[in-house]
Amino acid sequence: MKQYHKPQTKKVRRGTGAKRVKSMDKKLAHVGGVFTATKVADKEVRETRRTRGGGKTPKLKKAAFANVATENGVKKVKILRVLESHNPEYVRMNIITKGAVIETEIGKVKVTNRVGQDGIVNGVLLT
């Protein structure tokens, strides 16, 4: 389901008691996209979507690897599972979001980017 991102309108009545007239209707420009639930898998699956203005953005549907920043540099490591997230259901379903803690081959990693919008998983190694 798409999300509607227009700010909340003011009260229906003014301070005098007069009704406010609706000045604007819903616009397609205020409608956001569908949430891309990036899951942990053995093989990576990407999808490109058209944006406003004709551009394209990659959407990561299934993730297998993550770019992890360590003291020695950046390494590409395999993702095993999701350990923590802001939503307990995402942990159970292995959905990766920004701020989630994932288990990799080299240890626990905190995701630092918005995975569904960037098309890649980036993170920092937790000590």
| 51 belongs to a structural domain | yes
| 7 belongs to a structural domain | no
Question: What mean pLDDT do residues 42-55 have?
Answer: 92
Give, in degrees to the nearest 5, the angle at Cα 104 between 103 and 105. 135
| 64 belongs to a structural domain | yes
What ranges in 1-127 are assigned the alpha helix state H?
88-93, 115-118
CA distance 102 to 108: 6
CATH number at 92 reads 3.10.290.70
Range of the domain at 99: 38-125
| 3 belongs to a structural domain | no
pTM for this model (two decimals): 0.77
In the DSSP assignment, the letter for residue 105 is: T
pLDDT of residue 7: 66
Q: Which residue has the tokens 């227009």?
A: 6
Q: What's the mean per-residue pLDDT of the chain? A: 90
Does position 1 have pLDDT exceeding 80, yes or no? no
**What tens digit of pLDDT does each residue of 21-30 get?**
776 677 888 8
Lowest mean pLDDT among 25-39, 41-55, 107-121: 25-39
Q: What's the total number of domains in the chain?
A: 1
Q: 29: burial class by Cβ within 10 Å (0-12, 13-18, 19+)?
A: exposed
Residue type, 49: R
| 100 belongs to a structural domain | yes
